[in-house]
Structure 1
Amino acid sequence: MFAVKCIPKKALKGKESSIENEINVLRKIKHENIVALEDIYESSNHLYLIMQLVSGGELFDRIVEKGFYTEKDASTLIRQVLDAVDYLHKLGIVHRDLKPENLLYFNPQDESKIMISDFGLSKMEGSGDVMSTACGTPGYVAPEVLAQKPYSKAVDCWSIGVIAYILLCGYPPFYDENDSKLFEQILKADYEFDAPYWDDISDSAKDFIGSLMEKDPAKRFTCDQALRHPWIAGDTALCKNIHESVSRQIRKNFAKSKWRQAFNATAVVRHMRRLQLSSSMGQSMDSSHPHPPNSRAAQMQNQRNQANQDQANQTPNQTPSQSSTQPSPSPSQTRSQNPNAAIMKSFSVDSPHKDCKWTCMHPHTHKP
């Protein structure tokens, strides 16, 4: 069985270079932890990408479904990702959009391997263009991407660090409903290992994450260095069951579309500069909007509690449409009301895949 990605040609108009880039990259790749492109077919109205079938579901879904989950499980997952990305980097390929939603299990079996998918934003190093376009998914992009500095394959290593962080606590290292503040946190590499969520996590795991989530890309671990870290190559990853706390936080924190949305951040960076965030982060922002003393996980919970309280305070006889005090908006609605919402919308990538359909095809099925 194969998976068929059916892309209407009308959706490709003006984006031909994007799909051509993805196909060219996929044709170069052959790795056990990367979803393979098997073939390509074309009709008058559609382009068909015949892909290797992966049927095990998304990373977060599988973790939540487990009854037992440990640091060692997370280490095994990250080792597979590192091995695949190290392979890409040695080929001169930068993925640029590594995130949990692009990590799929090969099959439903408990010991299934993990597979990297979606190379729509990938790029070949040394292709003649210096990589400086701010792209990726907001919570996973490296500081140098947001700073609009020329960057390298080190951006993938940062993203792997963010993924490892989430795998061990269930919530993101950077969070704010205000987009400018979110990017401010990332630019400063402002993250913490909050108690009590990290109390049962090994120092080795924290050291591993810190080596990848290093603000300076020149000091950041490469995939090869990360593969030799004791948390990956040794026996320092703990075997204590952390499923309950991690799965609870995943359920709470990852219905947020911001963490799933790919983007081109040029407009937001310019907006931040106009607000002088990049030159006065440590002064005006910290003085007028001091960070709360509680953890980011608690901050997210407080915002959810406030939303529920606002809705509960609605007059009993009023329907939502009648209420003079509108129900608390969802996170996506909140973003649409903040001053950066139009900017967030403006840099979302209009992917050539957004109108595509997936289906399964038996290997003996006639060509599309």
Structure 2
Amino acid sequence: MTISIIGAGLGGLTLARVLHVNGIHAVVYEREPSRGARGQGGMLDIHSGQQALRDAGLIEQFFAIARGEGQDMRLLEPDGTLLLQEDTPDDAPLLRPEVDRADLRALLLDSLPDDAVRWGHAFQSAGNGLLRFADGSAAEYDLLVGADGAASRVRPLLTGARPAHIGKNVVEIGIPDVDRTHPDLAAMVGRGTYWVLGNGISLAAQRNGDGRVRIGLSFYNTAEDWFATSGIPFADPAAAKARLIELLPGWHPRFTALIAACDDTVVPRSIAALPVGLTWPSAPDITLLGDAAHLMPPTGQGANMALLDGAVLGLALAAHPDDFPTAVKEYEREMFDRTGAAARMSADMHELLTAPDAGRKMLEFFQPG
């Protein structure tokens, strides 16, 4: 019985690891040519997903790479008003530690046999138990798991649902080696997340384990083609940063100083999501996990849900090793309920962030009553 996983992201690798721990072999097919072919993004807030790492037998290794100080947070308004400052004691439990996505992915990859991941295999189509790849090669499968992210090519085999723009566009920038290059800004940002909210815009600066501060400038209530009309010249990083500062009228100079200090990496990202509560009729030989199944607004849930998807599906398959259809139905029932609730919460959070007084509303969220 051959289990084929499309996509070597966190969810797909967690599934492969849980299956491996339970003596079940699976093959992960990844379109990237190697594990280091591209950057893996910034920090992740891992909370509910810790259960998946326990199921995978990796929780102690996770705690070794997690950054407890990454739980620190500073919440401010555009005029510089500090609304909230939370500093994590050194002996605080790792309830929501931050971890570099690249480090977590490496932990999962290193926990698998060398032949578990087949690099350079771009999925093209599937049917009648046969996978076809862009290079002309093929492979058989008994169960196909689409773990191939927001632009999943497996998803259309189960549902016609497609991600839709949610009115949010993000520009990613960053300051490398911030403690050495800009110690004053490093002290201002602190050890975790520095978050400025208001007027339909947010600036989230986050300390990464490699010393880089990654900054996401989010523009809410904007159209899908906003980048084309924003006047941001992405081909000219210096001019792009200057234009970003222009788009923040009235913001305190210390916030615009963060943008001015960034390097030449200026990346636009248009944010989309799948319908909240998406389901599909269960198929005996295909299922989905992670963003392929429930892409939601980025509010700290996606990676956790992907980890849990992989663990829950792996445990269901281990419980029914000779009955994949039953395992898939069991997994999908749990996954639909769990991720539907997470997607609704993420959608509500997204709506909160679009408010003109989002900073005050977020303070009420963190400190109700």
Q: Fold-level match, TM-score > 0.5? A: no
Provide TM-score, normalisation by structure 2.
0.26
Higher helix content, 1 or 2: 1
The TM-score, its normalising length taken from structure 1, stands at: 0.26
The structure whose residues are more often strand, as a share, is 2
